[in-house]
Chain A
Amino acid sequence: MADAAPSSTVPLPRTHPLDVRPDLTEQTAGAVVARPLTTAVQVRAELPGPAADAAARVLGVALPARPGTWVATPGGGRVVWLGPDEWLVLDPTTTPWDLEPRLREALAPAGGAAVDVSAQRVVLELSGPLARDLLAAGCAVDTHPSVFPAGRAAQTLLAQAGVVLLALSDDGQRYELLVRSSFARYLADWLVDAATEHRARRA
């Protein structure tokens, strides 16, 4: 699956919880990068059904029906399966006050719902040869590319913190990690700690 790299990122007027960790990338040997805050809308709909169809028309792509997957939207966003009737739309190219009303107006008459959850999560990108090692230090989900290639997603626990993990590439070297904003500093600290042994080995 082609990775939908955002062409333009719209800045959101909020303080980033990881502004206090400007050295996060350096301290994790380059493996972890905090992404700018991203527009996120939670979609509830029955699939198949009129609300799911309405969401597909707004997003330009059908809501993924297969558990544990995500799909790219034509506009450079992602739609992540969170449950059999629940999805998370991530779109760095737009704002919550644009995307949420568009989705809600389409979904509500059809029995679905769309809620702005942009403040809920922070996005971290994990990349490079260390990415899987860091995940394996605190997460039981098998991230081997043979079972977790690009397009797979998992809601699980990483170091006891609830996360959504997205696989962006087929080589096991690029992941996106969505963590709740109030857990972001804890998880950043934990990732730095998990990377310590690798930093020492490289030094």
Chain B
Amino acid sequence: MQMIRCPWCGPREEVEFHYGGQAHVPYPAEPAALSDEEWAHYVFFRDNTRGVFAERWSHSAGCRKWFNALRDTVSYRFLAVYRPGDPRPVLDGSDQTQHQTHHQKAGASS
């Protein structure tokens, strides 16, 4: 089973965590000014990223705290975890996963 590193408790089994969707979705600055379509986009529309995705997780069977993680949606590998309020970490090149390299190579050769 995959281990996920809680920023407080350290590595724990995946089943101890709950997924919370895309991270860094800002609440509308002027909610009253939004049209129905803009509300629908805020409430329901999320990115469907192939590769590194910033998302929210909760250590629901442990400290029950929410945190953010950068996860590769292809390999499922967690590349970074960080506490709420902390800025999204910048990954260096070594963190980029294999499939992106393949993808880029395929793109370059075609």
Interface size in chain A (residues, C-beta < 8 A): 14
A residues touching B (Cβ–Cβ < 8 Å)? 67-68, 82-84, 86, 140-141, 154-157, 160, 162
For the residues of B in contact with A, the DSSP-based class is loop
Nearest A residue (CB) for B83? A84
Tally inter-chain residue pairs, CB-CB below 8 A: 38
Nearest A residue (CB) for B10? A68
Q: Which of B12, B13, B62 gathers most chain A CB within 10 Å?
A: B62
Q: B63: CB under 8 A from chain A?
A: yes
**Interface hits, B1-41 → A, CB 8 Å:** 1, 3, 8-10, 12-13, 15-16
Q: B99: CB under 8 A from chain A?
A: no
A86: chain B residues within 8 A (beta carbon): 63-64
Q: B61: CB under 8 A from chain A?
A: yes
A84: chain B residues within 8 A (beta carbon): 8, 63, 65
A67: chain B residues within 8 A (beta carbon): 8-10, 63
Contact residue among B13, B16, B61, B65 (Cβ-Cβ distance under 8 Å from A83): B65
A154: chain B residues within 8 A (beta carbon): 9, 62
| Docked CA distance A157–B13 (Å) | 9
| Docked CA distance A156–B65 (Å) | 13
B1: chain A residues within 8 A (beta carbon): 140
Can you sample 27 A-B contacts with CB below 8 Å? A67-B8, A68-B8, A68-B9, A68-B10, A83-B8, A83-B63, A83-B64, A83-B65, A84-B8, A84-B65, A86-B63, A86-B64, A140-B3, A154-B9, A154-B62, A155-B9, A155-B61, A155-B62, A155-B63, A156-B61, A156-B62, A157-B13, A157-B15, A157-B16, A157-B61, A160-B15, A162-B61
